[in-house]
Structure formats: structure tokens, C-alpha cells
Structure 1
Amino acid sequence: MARPFLISFLFPLCIIFLLICGGSTVAALSRDDFPSGFIFGAGTSAYQVEGAAAEDGRKPSIWDAFCHAGKMPDHSNADVAADQYHKYKEDVKLMHETGLDAYRFSIAWPRLIPDGRGEINPKGLQYYNNLINELLSYGIQPHVTLYHFDLPQALQDEYNGLLSTKFIDDFTAYADVCFREFGDRVKNWVTVNEPNVESLGGYDQGAFPPERCSYPFGNCTSGNSTTEPYIVAHHLLLAHSSVVLLYREKYQAEQGGKIGITILAIWFVPATEDPEDIAAARRAVDFHIGWLLHPIVHGTYPAIMRKIAGSRLPLLSKENFEKVKGSFDFIGINHYFTISVKSDPSQLKNKVRDYVRDMAVKISNIVSLDKALFRKYIKGLPVAPWGLSELLEHFKINYGNPPIMIHENGDFEEADSTNPVTINDDFRINYLEQYLEALNLSIRNGSNTQGYFVWSLIDCFEILFGYTNRYGIYGVNFNDTEKTRYTRSSARWYANLLGGKANIKGASRDTHLVKNIALQ
């Protein structure tokens, strides 16, 4: 790319490297180091924390059916989870004590409209009104996700859920209810959380509900891994744009809110300086991030995806092009780690390919899609905040520097059944501190990032690992019938940062922001 881009891209990384590795001491951050109006928060999602799965009119989602069939590694379910349905006031008080500006949560579609369409559940409506009002009573902004994986099982049974265009109309009608009932107080909306994850996990590998895949890409009773991930992502994009159009035409002027979409945004880098590996990393980024962002920013899928997937990738009609392009006020990103890849062109020689093989990359050290092995892999990855810097630069250069909300960022510890309460989580402080330092420098270099949410506020039922992983800055004793909350070191650290009195203890700097091969 042009030299000015290289200078603007590498300059902040060089500054980070010199500050941390050059013998200088990085001053502890405070919220005053970020722009005025920058939002600090923490997040969860409905299925992962609410519990009360069969109470007050809620009906099953596809995740209830999946978990009750014993499909989680620890054979768990979220019937009770962290029981936020009954303990939301306690949790909001924790948010207030931490100094949060905002709480990111999702509305459970099967709690609000149990059959997916039709009658509204008054108890569900009351719960979300109570939660929103409780947040506002403490001056905490509600940032609401409409769809966070928990599709009503009724719609899956009726027409195969996301595989049908009927989903678009039902989702739009559900969103209409949410805007009408909550939009006078909710000013920040996300339509869909991580459509790239749901498409891949549920319809290519079959590792998530509704467990659809085909041989040799997975072991499912039904599905087509070669086409369905692309179809589902396409329908989620059309549903997203339909809801954004509804909000803009019917509600936005009066309610004054903003609306966007949130994607998982892993950053991919080349494992070597070989041009083929550099091209492979760029291709992985286009498949993973461009899959969703290219249509809503530029109106088309990335050229490399159209070339490789061919007719398996749905077309955006002229009508849909006009709806999809520009259908955001902000982009939400969930970012946890950076992965190095090598080129693997042999994948493209297969006559039958799925989304993963279409990427034609090899990820170092991943030899299995087994969840337990994947957990060990991601836990073994180095803390790489420079990956976030490169990711934000990618958004700035390739997508016009849109407003960004970092909706998830955090690190986990593996649960120990003999020790249900863990207080000292210096590893998490170290992780969060380094990522916030990188974010701060990216903003100074022109990134339009406007908010940051830690994942997660409290320990959750995690969709990959059940209760075997703990992400919360506040712990939950899942062995306790009361699901007692307790304060971890990271919660105190975050509270200090947000109060402008950072007092970081035990946050080692054994992993540094180091020079990396840029995608040029």
C-alpha cells in the first residue's frame, strides 16, 4: 500500500513497542485518557445469565434443546445460569459500584414472544422494563442486542429457522415490539450478535444448534455444509437491514437512538513473511470480517469470496443492495485474540468445499475442532493487543473509519470444581490493561472507537464451554443455590480505572506489544 498508510499504520505500533519494551514505564490509564463521551461498560447475554428458563411464560430456544440433549462438553445447561432474572437488582448495583457507563445485554426473544410470533408475554415485557428502569435509575445506559443466538425453538420447528426467508419477517416484527416498548429509554440497539459465528458453528460444523452439517465436514443428521453457512449469513444480513430500515423509518427520529450490528472479529496475521501466507491472512480477514462488513459498507460480498465460493454465495439483488448498504450507525466488534495462518491452497482442489476450506488457510497448532482442544489452543495464545490495533486500522482504511463499539473483550480462567470461588485474577487485569493501552493509542491515531465493554460482567454459561470457563470480573459461585456474586481483583481494577484512580496490582507485563507483519 501507499507509504502514508504504512506510516500511519506502523507509527502507533512502534510507539507501543518503545514504551513497553524500551525500558520506559507505561503510566496507568484512567478514563480521562479517553475522549469525552467515551463509553465504558460490561456485557452478558440473556441465555447466558438469566436462567428462569421455564418461568413466567418463557418457552425454549434452540439452545435449550441443544443443551438438554447433553451436547455441551460439561453436559450443562442454562436453566438457572447466573439467575440474573431474579438477581438483576443486585447486578445493577454491582455495575453502579464499578462505575460503568453502560450495560450490554440481550433480550430473549422466547421470553418476550415465546412462540416467535404472535402474543407478547406480559411477564417477559415486565422483566425487561424492570431491568431497563433499574439501570436508568443508576444512570447506566442500556445497550440492547435483539438477537444473541437464542432463536425460539418454535420457529426452528416450523420452518428451519434461519434457513428460511420467513425468519426475516418474524425477526422484524419482534424488533418492532422491542422498539415500541423499550425505545423511549433504550438508545443503543444491536440487531444481531456474531452472525459469522452462528452461520459457521450451527450450519457448517454442526457444533452449535441447530446442529446442521454434512459429511465430511461434520457428523450431523441433516444439513449441507457447502451452502447453508452462506445462506444463513445472507438471511441474517437481510434481517439486520430490514430491522434497521424499520427503526429509521418508524422510530429513530422520535426516539433518537442508534442501531448497528456486532460481529466476532478475530484478527489474522501471516505465520511467515512468505507472500502466500500474507495473502492467506488477507483472505482469512475477508472471509471472517468482510463477509458481513463488506455488504453493509460497500454493498457487495468481498471479491475473493465471490471468486472462491461462486454460486454458493447468494447474490444481493438491487433491492437488497439498497437496503443492506449503509445499514448501520455503528459497528460492534467482539475481539479476543489474534491467530497466525499459513496458506493451504490444496483445500481449493477439493471438489466439495465448505466455508472453512474455501478460506484455504492452515491455522497453526489446531489439529481438531474438538472444543476441549480448542480451549487449550486459545488459552495458550499470547496476549496480543497489537492485533486489536491492526484490526482497528483495517476498519479505518478499508471501511471508512466507521464508529466502533468494542462489545466484547476479555480473558478466561478454567473452572476448578474444588475451588468454586477465585478472587485473584491478575492475568485478566494484565490482559485488559494491555488491550486498553492499545485501544487508547489507536484512538489517538484516528480510530473512531467510541466504547469498550468487558466480557463479562459476571461469570456466565459460555456457549463453547458451559461452566468450565470463567470470564466474569465478578465471580458467581455456581455450586451455591443462591448463585452468590463475589468481587474479583479485576472488578476492583476496572472500578479504579473508571474512577480515575487506577491502582493496578499484580498486572505483569510478561507479554508485550511486539512488531508484527502488517497486512500491506
Structure 2
Amino acid sequence: MNDFPADFIFGSGTAAPQYEGAAFDDGRTPSIWDTFSHSGRTMGATGDIACDGYHKYKFFVKLMVDTSLEAFRISISWSRLIPYGRGPINSKGLQFYNNLINELISNGIQPHVTLSHLDLPQALEDEYGGWLSPKIVKDFSEYADVCFKEFGDRVLYWTTLNEVNIAALGGYDEGIAVPGRCSDRTRCAEGDSTTGPYTVVHNMLLAHSAVTKLYRQKYKSTQKGKVGVNIYTFGLLPYTNSTEDVMATERAKEFYIGWIMNPLVFGDYPDELKKRAESRIPSFTKEESEQIKGSFDFIGMNHYITVFIKDDPTMMSDMKEFYADLAVELIIERGGAPVDQYPVLPSGLKAMLEYLKQVYGNPPIYIQENGQMTRRNGTLNDTTRVEYLQAYIGAVLEAVRFRSDGGE
């Protein structure tokens, strides 16, 4: 670790649905994750107990100290803090987050906070469709205002939303993630895959930029914090050296990454995405474009796996939705890795870091999620995870050195 710059931060992270448990305790109301996980679509896995961090947070902070972590990324359960999405603050929820943040700081661990990590209050989903409605912008901004007011004296790093791109695709195109919407009625009771993900990303970007504007106008001068947003980044490499696959890979970068990053940096969606999605993707007004452009202090980046891109124009003849618009085949080269583990291809992470630098002006980046799935085997043999992390930390170090040396 001493090979990294002094200001490089090593930490760990989790999310309220994964960590807190106590799903129905002390005034917390259901989120869309609770509803989805109790629908039978997660093979019995719920957040009812999870790691029981709500009760055991001091124990977990001690483990972080023993591991020499410098930072810990948490998310706030909106429905624990404000049970029905708007209205009165839940005093017990407020006390929990104050206690957790204070425990981290007293042990020298920097808190990084995500405002929404796939757990929108179910009350707002029921009322107006959650992220499908522009009404979410006002409610999300008021919720963020509470968080900044109550915790901003100690929290300097705020991530508004987690994996904007994948949250929209998984939850509103494929129906495999919360809230489980899609066009396929054999899998989803409701939803429209042709417009859903484009609408959701649009509203998420508007909500994110409104929250950033709020923080900068009301809190930044005194709290001195930073606000960013998180996207998922596959490593994206061409399957062959053919012109078609190389061009398809560039298109995939625009669809998966540019879909979010282009509005944040340039004020609008990529031209190729707009051309293919046509009227199914909403347009920004001039005022919205100006508000979104530059509305971040850092980019949160999640990365686990590299995929190879093969051009597939036959996709465009299918139903009009994101993957048909993209028109590629995603290929995972496992290299002998079992199906329940990620292949170790750290070159994909390095390539994405360099892509964000070259195309989007070298923004500050926090890799907020990265790691290896490891099946429990009754032992402490964690070799596959060790090898994965060593390889990916090495790739990050190469990218950092490349940047510091002035490399292009």
C-alpha cells in the first residue's frame, strides 16, 4: 500500500439493504428492496436480518480498525430516516446514523455516504411509481436536505445514487432487480422495457443534479464536502480486432458509460444513443442541461468484471429497448474460472480508468465497489479473493503511476 500516493484512500463499503437488517424495527417502513426480496424473486434472500449492522455496528467498526481501513462507505435507508419518503424524521433512525458516523470518526475512519442504494421507500413507489415519475426530484431533494443538515458537519463525501445505469436496466428493462419491472409478463407483473430505463435514468440525473445544486448553494461553503454519483463500469473490450467489433465496443462505452457521463460532462446524451432510442429517450430542456452539466465533484465507479463486445446487428430487429438499441453480444471469457466467480481480468479496470480520463476530462474517481464472489466452504481459505484483489489493486496502481507520470 505504501506504493500509492499519500492521498490515496483504502476503504470498504456496504449498503443499508445488505448490512443493517432490523428491517421492521424502530419505525422503519418497507423499501422497494424489502418488497422485491419478499416476492420470491431472490431465492429467499432478504434484508430482514442481513449482517445485523443496526445492532452490531460497533463490532464491525472494530474489525475495520483491525484491518487498517481508512474509509467506510455506507448508505442511508431513506425509509428508516423518513419512513414514508417525506414528512417527519424518525428519531430512532436519526440516532442510529449519528451513532454509526460518530463511531467511524472516533476510530479514525472516514465516512462516505450514499443517499440511495436500490431502496427507495415503498410508499413513494406506490404513490407515483418512484423513479418513473418526475415527482421524485422534489422528494429526493428534500430527503437529501435532511441528510446534509443532520450529518454534513461530519460527512464530507456524498454519493447521491448507486449504479444509475444498472439500476435502470436491472429494475426497469430486465426486471431482475428492484422494483422488478419489465415488458415480459412471464417475469414481471408490470413495466415497459422500451421506455422504462430511459425514463428512470433521466429522472435520476435530474434528481442528482438538483441535490448537487442544493448542496453547493446551501451547505458547501460551511461543510466543505463533495457530491458525486455512482455508475457501474464493465471492462469493455472488443471480441475480435474486426472493424465491426471495435466500433461496437465504442458504442457499448457510449451506451453504458456515456448514457450517464455525457450529460454530467457535456449536458446531453450521446448522439448515437439518441439516434437509436429516438423518442423513447426523454430530452433535457436548456435549463436542465445547464444544471446537470458539471453537477459532480467526483465519480463513484463500481467494477467487477470485463466483458468482450461482439457486434450483433440482428438485435435491432427485435423489440425496441436498450439492448436492441445497443445491438451487441456481451461475451464473458472465464479463462477457467468457475461460473460462481468473476474472471480475473484487471486490464478491463485499467482501461475504464483511462477511458474516463481521456473522454471526460480526468475527473476525480472513487472505486466504490470491487471484489470477488467466494462461495462459503467452511474454511478461511480465501485464495481466489486474495488473488483477485491483488490483481486489481495492481491495475489501479499502474493507472495511478501512468497518470502521475503524465502519460496519455
Report if TM-score (shorter chain) is over 0.5. yes
TM-score by length of 2: 0.96
In 2 relative to 1, CA 377–315 (structure 1 residues): closer, same or farther, beyond 3 Å? Answer: farther
Residue matched to 2:221 = 253
Matched residue SS, 1:88: helix
CA distance in 1 between partners of 2:71 and 2:376 (Å): 27
Task: Pick one of 59, 62, 84 that aligns with 1:90.
Answer: 59
Task: Pick one of 47, 57, 60 that aligns with 2:27.
Answer: 57
Give CA-to-partner distance per residue, 1:372-430, whole Å, 9 cap, x none. xxx96572x531111111111101110000001010110011245xx3xx311011111
Is residue 317 of structure 2 the alignment partner of residue 353 of structure 1? no
Task: Pick one of 116, 119, 125 that aligns with 1:147.
Answer: 116
CA distance in 2 between partners of 1:275 and 1:333 (Å): 29
Give CA-to-partner distance per residue, 1:238-277, whole Å, 9 cap, x none. 0000000000000011001111001111121111111101
Task: Pick one of 55, 65, 68 that aligns with 1:99.
Answer: 68
Task: Pick one of 361, 369, 373 that aligns with 1:412.
Answer: 373
Task: Pick one of 341, 346, 349 that aligns with 1:385.
Answer: 346
TM-score by length of 1: 0.75
Is residue 278 of structure 2 the alignment partner of residue 310 of structure 1? yes
Task: Pick one of 393, 396, 400 that aligns with 1:443.
Answer: 400
Residue matched to 2:329 = 362
Q: Which 4+ residue blocks in structure 1 deviate beyond 3 angstroms?
A: 375-378
The higher relative CO (CA closer than 8 Å, separation ≥ 6) is in: 1
CA distance in 2 between partners of 1:415 and 1:100 (Å): 24
In 2 relative to 1, CA 394–321 (structure 1 residues): closer, same or farther, beyond 3 Å? Answer: same
Residue matched to 1:430 = 387
Is residue 233 of structure 2 the alignment partner of residue 265 of structure 1? yes
The aligned amino acid for 2:397 is N
The aligned amino acid for 1:221 is A
CA distance in 1 between partners of 2:144 and 2:137 (Å): 11
Residue matched to 2:77 = 108
| Comparing 306-315 and 323-332, the one that deviates more | 306-315
How far residue 447 of structure 1 moved from its aligned partner, in angstroms, is 6.9
Task: Pick one of 243, 251, 265 that aligns with 1:283.
Answer: 251
Give CA-to-partner distance per residue, 1:71-113, whole Å, 9 cap, x none. 11x3221100010000000001111111111000100000000
Is residue 95 of structure 2 the alignment partner of residue 126 of structure 1? yes
Is residue 196 of structure 2 the alignment partner of residue 196 of structure 1? no
How far residue 284 of structure 1 moved from its aligned partner, in angstroms, is 1.0
Identity fraction in percent? 53
Task: Trace 1:5-24 onto structure 2 (pairs within 5 A).
Answer: none
Contact 2:315 / 2:323 at 8 angstroms: preserved in 1?
A: no
Residue matched to 1:234 = 202
Matched residue SS, 2:160: strand
Is residue 176 of structure 2 the alignment partner of residue 207 of structure 1? yes
CA distance in 1 between partners of 2:371 and 2:178 (Å): 24
Task: Pick one of 183, 186, 192 that aligns with 2:155.
Answer: 186
CA distance in 2 between partners of 1:439 and 1:398 (Å): 18
Point out where structure 2 has 5 or more consecutive residues left out of the alignment.
Answer: none
How far residue 316 of structure 1 moved from its aligned partner, in angstroms, is 1.3
Residue matched to 1:168 = 137
In 2 relative to 1, CA 326–298 (structure 1 residues): closer, same or farther, beyond 3 Å? Answer: same
CA distance in 2 between partners of 1:210 and 1:424 (Å): 36
The aligned amino acid for 1:356 is Y
Matched residue SS, 1:190: strand
The aligned amino acid for 1:330 is F
Is residue 291 of structure 2 the alignment partner of residue 323 of structure 1? yes
CA distance in 2 between partners of 1:125 and 1:313 (Å): 38
Contact 1:39 / 1:102 at 8 angstroms: preserved in 2?
A: yes
Contact 1:299 / 1:325 at 8 angstroms: preserved in 2?
A: yes
Larger radius of gyration: 1
How far residue 209 of structure 1 moved from its aligned partner, in angstroms, is 2.2
In 2 relative to 1, CA 322–142 (structure 1 residues): closer, same or farther, beyond 3 Å? Answer: same
Point out where structure 1 has 5 or more consecutive residues left out of the alignment.
Answer: 1-30, 367-374, 449-520
CA distance in 1 between partners of 2:284 and 2:404 (Å): 30
Matched residue SS, 1:269: strand
How far residue 364 of structure 1 moved from its aligned partner, in angstroms, is 2.6
Alpha-carbon RMSD across the aligned residues, in angstroms, is 1.6
